Amino acid sequence: MTGPHGVGIGWRPEIAGFVADLPGLRFVEVVAEGVAASGPLPAGLAALRERGVTVVPHGVRLSLGGAEPVDPARVAHLGAVAQLVGAPLVSEHIAFVRAGGVEAGHLLPLPRSREAVDAVCANVARAQAGLPVPIALEPIAALFDWPDDELDEADFLTEILDRTGAFLLLDVANVYANARNRGTDPAALLDRLPLDRVSYVHVAGGAEHGGYYHDTHTDAVPPPVLDLLRELCARRRPPALLLERDGHYPPAPVLRAELDALAAASGFPVVT
């Protein structure tokens, strides 16, 4: 699979002009549900495609971890967006967003149980059957663990990846957030994950509120997350890194500096 490469950024309409002006940019990620499956693409996204920039659709509503089968219409939409942008792959979360017909509006964590592994694998298989390209799965940041966990995080993720053949979208900000809130070592998880399955990596900022570290996507990337990124690259550098920012956008020089920091931590060429 020829996937994304180098340093990229999440494309959002609010920063479309900034993204368009990045001379070395080779890939972006777009929230799939924000793109009309029938087209046309937003002008800024279409211009990037014309430049040869790889676009990866990132889904947030499949609910792969739900007990109910994935909605075929949502799978079809994700697949249609992938074809519209000529994507080499799509990505989604190991999480659930609805149950009993009720939409949560948030990505919710799964109990790390055998039953949950079976549910995720069944839904990933259903999604794969309806998608024109491979899928990468992203573990989420969670503020709590379920009391009936049977597997630790590494075993839970590895079993899902092994059984589905999916790729891993590793979010180092999520790894940091989970470890900080659990009081564990984030680098220890890296040693137990199948890093050869990583398609690309998310990097994002966060902040502490009420004694917990929250993966906000609206704050600067903190030094410990950059340190963890360096740890990851020292073990096995992923093919690509993506800066996620979903609000409270800083001035352009600040965003450029964050992209440069990702390049410096990984050894990838700067894109600014």
Q: Is 155 inside a domain boundary? A: yes
Confidence of residue 29 (pLDDT cuts 50, 70, 90): very high
Domain count, the chain: 1
Share of the chain above pLDDT 70, in %: 94
178, part of any domain: yes
Distance CA(12)–CA(204), nearest Å, equals: 15
Residue 149 forms part of a structural domain: yes
Q: How confident is the model at residue 144 (pLDDT cuts 50, 70, 90)?
A: low
Whether 1 maps to a domain, the answer reads no
Q: Is residue 213 a part of any domain in this protein?
A: yes
Helices (H), 183-251: 186-190, 223-235
Whether 43 is in a domain gets the answer yes
Q: Which domain holds residue 161?
A: 6-266
CATH of the domain at 187: 3.20.20.150
272 assigned to some structural domain: no
Residue 13 has pLDDT above 80, yes or no: yes
Cα gap 154→164, rounded to integer Å? 15
The predicted pLDDT at position 98 comes to 64
pLDDT value at 197 more than 90: yes
Report residue 149's pLDDT band, with 50, 70 and 90 as the boundaries. Answer: confident
Q: Is residue 168 a part of any domain in this protein? A: yes
CB burial of 21-59 (b: ≥16 within 10 Å; e: otherwise) equals ebeebbbbbbbbbebebeeebbebbeebeeeebbbbbbb
